[in-house]
């Protein structure tokens, strides 16, 4: 490498290189060097950076713990690298031997004032050098401190006039953030953080107090738009009172902050009039007083134990509720008519909105309800004129989907294109008759053990592309009027033991589904046998996935699938034989996947189709041993296949 004296760009990102090549200092023409990994041996020390004065863009200097003497860091000549825009200084994650040496190293790595972004990781000093936070670094826009676990004071970042983003994480010894953070000495007239728009604190386990600057010349963060507090468990309720431009507040894992008993300061004194997005995870409901903010458009509440009722938010567009065990009611006046997204997870006491209030949600586009609303017996279809996605899962008392018998109800379902009903054990029926959803493209129903039939006249759903029926042990009939939707591309069926196989050929009309590309069947052996025996699958099928307890597959009934490209056989514990001669007729087959078929001893003696380009065998002990790369007794029979994966080994 040392001979490449005209080299301009060296990119080693994404590698695990342990040390740089010797005499990197000879490469004086380098414009780009993504990383320099400091070594201990002569020729790979940090001083090799001295003559690389044309470096630009981003440079990461890694393993700074290998710097033997702080004077070596001075030789790196970082002050004169005027074209560097981004710098990362990183030490190892191990314990520090000499914190004073690490401070001296960082002090002597002072970069040029043209720098725009600086990241410091795993620094082991107990404090930071004076240059970090000096106002001469007027071009710095992004600053990140990570895992500097021995430092107990933060630099004077408030003095950086151009700083826009600041992230502090894993500072384990910091207990108080005070006037030193703002860079004010009591007499300064310059307001701190003039340009800061994003401030993030993460994993600060001992941080207890956030002290304001005490300045008399306006708020401490006059332009801050986003504030993130994550895993600061001891921080008391001492947030900055004046954040006039704050648009997004995220608070997660800050339980003491949420506890109004921890301080006399309450959120009633917070002036966040511009707040648009509020995300609260953990703790109690103290911060919910911020819901009175008039501009709030997104509210996300997770793992909040004692919130019982939501206040009204007139401009709310997205509402996400998760793991709120005591939440029992929505606002008395209902939800905002501007709401487009409503997600409810694990809120079992919550009473779902009555129809009169649902009818006002004229903008709702997405609705997801999971393991919630235990009192809901019937879900009113046709209440939302713009709803495109409806996902109902784990609602244990839901018995039916009902269509409100009012003028316009049919039109109100015209936008719905995704419908999933899953794990609702008491679900007995859908709306009687056909589903009035002309644009429905995805229909997934499963885990409803009492469901006996699907909606009538499925064939009228001409926009339907995806149909899945899984774990419906009492389903007896499906598509017994005029067949399946004509434009299906994906059809999946599994564990429907009572489905009448005798009606498949007469009613389903699978052979006519020329658009069907993938068929997936599992745990419904009687259905699979009928489909194969009567050759009911369309000849245009591209992908076939089979899971069964049969001992063998009737290969003579697979040979007509001349367009089949992918055959996947999985979770067939009793399967002993694969069809041999008929597999040869699958002239388009490119990929064969065999998973978890322990009783399968060998592949067909007749061989596999010559078109096969990919063979995948996994968790099939006998097959893996028999066809093992080079050592298996029948390896030669498959070695011609371009790509083979046996277990975790890929052979190309």
Please tell me the predicted confidence (pLDDT) of residue 263: 43
User: What is the domain range of residue 342?
Assistant: 247-259+270-372
The pLDDT value recorded for residue 112 is: 96
pLDDT digits (tens, 9 = 90+) for 613-634: 999 999 998 888 888 887 888 8
The torsion angles phi and psi of 128, rounded to 5 degrees, stand at -105, 150
Contact assessment for residue 113 and residue 140, using Cβ atoms and an 8 Å cutoff: no
Q: What integer best gives the mean pLDDT of the chain?
A: 87
Helix/strand/coil for 411: helix
Average pLDDT over residues 191-204: 95
The pLDDT of residue 408: 52
Q: Has residue 404 got a pLDDT over 80?
A: no
pLDDT at 176: 93
What is the structure's pLDDT at 432? 67
pLDDT confidence of residue 306 = 77
DSSP assigned state of 210: E
The pLDDT of 32-41, averaged and rounded, is 92
Give the phi and the psi of residue 267 in degrees, each rounded to 5.
-70, -5
When mean pLDDT is compared over 107-121, 178-192, 477-491, the highest value belongs to: 107-121
Q: What is the mean pLDDT of residues 293-297?
A: 86
Output the pLDDT for position 584: 79
- Looking at the DSSP assignment, which residues form a beta bridge with residue 569? 546, 594
The C-alpha atoms of residue 194 and residue 191 are separated, in whole angstroms, by 7
- 508-521: b or e for each residue (b if 16 or more CB lie within 10 Å)? bbbbebeebbbbbb
How much is the pLDDT for 55? 96
- Predicted confidence at residue 96, as pLDDT, reads 67
CB atoms within 10 A of CB 308: 12
**Residue 434 DSSP symbol:** B
Residue 541 domain flag? no
pLDDT: is 625 or 162 the higher one? 162
Report the pLDDT value the prediction gives residue 265, as an integer from 0 to 100. Answer: 44
Output the pLDDT for position 586. Answer: 86
Among the listed residues 182, 192, 187, 274, the one whose alpha carbon sits nearest the alpha carbon of residue 227: 274
Q: Is 198 helix (H, G, I), strand (E, B) or coil?
A: strand
Between 481 and 108, the higher pLDDT residue = 108
- Is pLDDT larger for residue 200 or for residue 191? 200
| pLDDT higher at 320 or 600 | 320
More confident residue, 151 or 499: 151
pLDDT of residue 497: 84
pLDDT 10s digits, 471-510? 999 987 776 667 889 999 999 999 988 887 666 666 788 8
Tokens describing residue 172: 């384990």
Domain assignment of residue 352, yes or no: yes
Q: How far is CA 93 from each of CA 63, 65, 90, 96, 201, rounded to the nearest angstrom?
A: 9, 9, 9, 9, 20
* pTM: predicted TM-score of the whole model, two decimal places: 0.85
Helix, strand, coil percent content, the chain, rounded in steps of 5: 15, 25, 60
Give residue 95's pLDDT: 65
In the prediction, which pLDDT does 480 show? 63
What's the pLDDT score for residue 259?
46
Which of 141-145, 185-189, 310-314, 324-328 has the least mean pLDDT?
A: 185-189
Q: What is the pLDDT of residue 46?
A: 93
User: Tens of pLDDT along 66-79?
Assistant: 998 888 999 999 99
Instruction: Say yes or no to pLDDT of 579 above 70.
Output: yes
Asked whether residue 287 is domain-assigned, the answer is yes
How many other C-beta atoms are found inside a 10 Å radius of the C-beta of residue 623?
22
Q: Is the pLDDT of residue 158 over 80?
A: yes
359 inside domain: yes
Higher pLDDT, 482 or 25: 25
Q: What is the pLDDT of residues 527-578, one digit of tens each?
A: 888 888 888 888 889 999 999 888 887 656 677 888 999 999 999 999 888 8
* pLDDT in the model for residue 470: 93
Q: Using the predicted structure, report yes or no on whether residue 297 has a pLDDT greater than 90.
A: yes
CA-to-CA distance for 63 and 148, rounded, in angstroms? 14
More confident residue, 146 or 649: 146
Calpha distance 277→247 (Å, rounded): 6
The two structure tokens encoding residue 83: 């074209």
Give the per-residue pLDDT at 502.
66
Output 195 or 607, whichever has higher pLDDT: 195
Do 548 and 573 meet the contact criterion of CB atoms below 8 Å apart? no
| 337 falls within a domain | yes
More confident residue, 267 or 13: 13
pLDDT at 238 (0 to 100) = 72
pLDDT at 311 over 90: no
What pLDDT does residue 262 have?
Answer: 39
In a domain, 292, yes or no: yes
Report the alpha-carbon distance of residue 272 to residue 615 in Å, rounded: 60
Query: CA–CA separation, 286 vs 268, rounded Å?
Result: 9
- 216-220, 499-503, 512-516: which is most confident: 512-516
Is residue 50 over pLDDT 80?
A: yes
Residue 208: predicted pLDDT: 92
Query: Average pLDDT in the 269-280 region?
Result: 87
Q: Does 544 fall in a domain? A: no
As a whole-number percent, the residues of the chain with pLDDT over 90 amount to 53
> Is the predicted pLDDT of residue 260 greater than 60, yes or no?
no
- The residue that leads in pLDDT, 605 or 21, is 21
What pLDDT score does 184 carry?
Answer: 67
Total domains in the chain come to 1
Q: Is the pLDDT of residue 132 over 90?
A: yes
Residue 403 has pLDDT above 50, yes or no: yes
Q: Please indicate, yes or no, if residue 251 is contained in any of the structural domains.
A: yes
pLDDT at 37 over 70: yes
């Amino acid at each position: 490498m040392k001979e490449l004296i005209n080299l301009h760009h060296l990119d080693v990102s994404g590698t695990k290189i342990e040390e740089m090549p010797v005499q990197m200092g000879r490469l004086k023409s380098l414009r780009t060097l993504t990383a320099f990994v400091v070594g201990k041996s002569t020729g790979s020390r940090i001083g090799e950076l001295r003559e690389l004065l044309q470096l630009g863009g981003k440079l990461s200097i890694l393993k700074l713990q290998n710097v033997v003497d702080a004077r070596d860091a001075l030789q790196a000549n970082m002050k004169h690298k005027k074209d560097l825009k981004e710098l990362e200084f990183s030490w190892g994650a191990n314990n520090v031997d000499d914190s004073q040496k690490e401070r001296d190293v960082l002090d002597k790595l002072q970069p040029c004032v043209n720098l725009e972004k600086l990241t410091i990781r795993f620094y082991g000093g107990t404090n930071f050098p004076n240059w970090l936070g000096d106002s001469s670094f007027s071009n710095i826009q992004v600053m990140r401190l990570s895992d500097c676990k021995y430092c107990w004071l933060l630099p004077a970042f408030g003095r950086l006039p151009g700083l826009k983003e600041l992230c502090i994480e894993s500072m384990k010894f910091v207990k108080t953030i005070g006037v030193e953070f703002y860079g004010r000495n009591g007499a300064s007239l310059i307001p701190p953080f003039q340009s800061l728009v994003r401030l993030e604190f993460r994993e600060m386990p001992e941080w207890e107090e956030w002290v304001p600057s005490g300045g008399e010349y306006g708020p401490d963060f006059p332009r801050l738009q986003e504030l993130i507090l994550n895993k600061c468990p001891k921080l008391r309720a001492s947030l900055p009172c004046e954040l006039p431009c704050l648009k997004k507040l995220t608070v997660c894992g800050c339980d003491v902050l949420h506890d109004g008993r921890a301080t006399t300061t309450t959120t009633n004194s917070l002036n966040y009039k511009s707040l648009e997005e509020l995300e609260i995870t953990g703790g109690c409901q103290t911060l919910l007083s911020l819901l009175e903010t008039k501009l709030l458009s997104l509210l996300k509440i997770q793992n909040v134990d004692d919130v019982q009722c939501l206040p009204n938010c007139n401009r709310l567009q997205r509402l996400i509720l998760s793991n709120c065990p005591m939440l029992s009611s929505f606002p008395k006046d209902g939800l905002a008519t501007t709401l487009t997204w409503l997600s409810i997870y694990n809120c079992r006491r919550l009473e779902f909105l009555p129809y009169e209030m649902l009818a006002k949600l004229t903008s709702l586009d997405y609705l997801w309800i999971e393991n919630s609303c235990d009192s809901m017996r019937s879900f009113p279809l046709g209440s939302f004129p713009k709803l495109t996605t409806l996902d109902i899962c784990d609602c244990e008392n839901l018995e039916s989907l009902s269509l409100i018998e009012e003028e316009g109800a049919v039109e109100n379902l015209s936008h719905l294109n995704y419908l999933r009903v899953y794990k609702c054990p008491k679900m007995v029926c859908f709306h009687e008759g056909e589903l009035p959803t002309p644009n429905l493209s995805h229909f997934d129903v499963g885990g409803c053990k009492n469901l006996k039939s699907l909606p009538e006249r499925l064939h009228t759903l001409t926009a339907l592309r995806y149909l899945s029926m899984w774990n419906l042990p009492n389903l007896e009939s499906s598509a017994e009027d005029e067949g399946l939707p004509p434009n299906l591309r994906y059809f999946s069926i599994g564990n429907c033991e009572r489905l009448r196989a005798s009606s498949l050929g007469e009613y389903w009309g699978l052979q006519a589904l020329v658009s069907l590309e993938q068929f997936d069947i599992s745990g419904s052996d009687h259905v699979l046998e009928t489909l194969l025996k009567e050759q009911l699958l369309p000849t245009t099928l591209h992908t076939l996935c089979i899971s069964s307890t049969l001992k063998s597959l009737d290969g003579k009934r697979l040979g007509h699938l001349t367009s089949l490209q992918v055959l996947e056989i999985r979770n067939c514990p009793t399967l002993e034989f694969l069809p041999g001669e008929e597999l040869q007729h699958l002239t388009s087959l490119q990929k064969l996947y065999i998973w978890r078929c322990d009783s399968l001893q060998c592949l067909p003696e007749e061989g596999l189709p010559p078109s096969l380009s990919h063979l995948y065998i996994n968790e099939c002990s006998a097959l893996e041993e028999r066809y093992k790369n080079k050592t298996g007794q029948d390896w030669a029979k498959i070695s011609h296949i371009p790509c083979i994966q046996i277990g975790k080994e890929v052979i190309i």
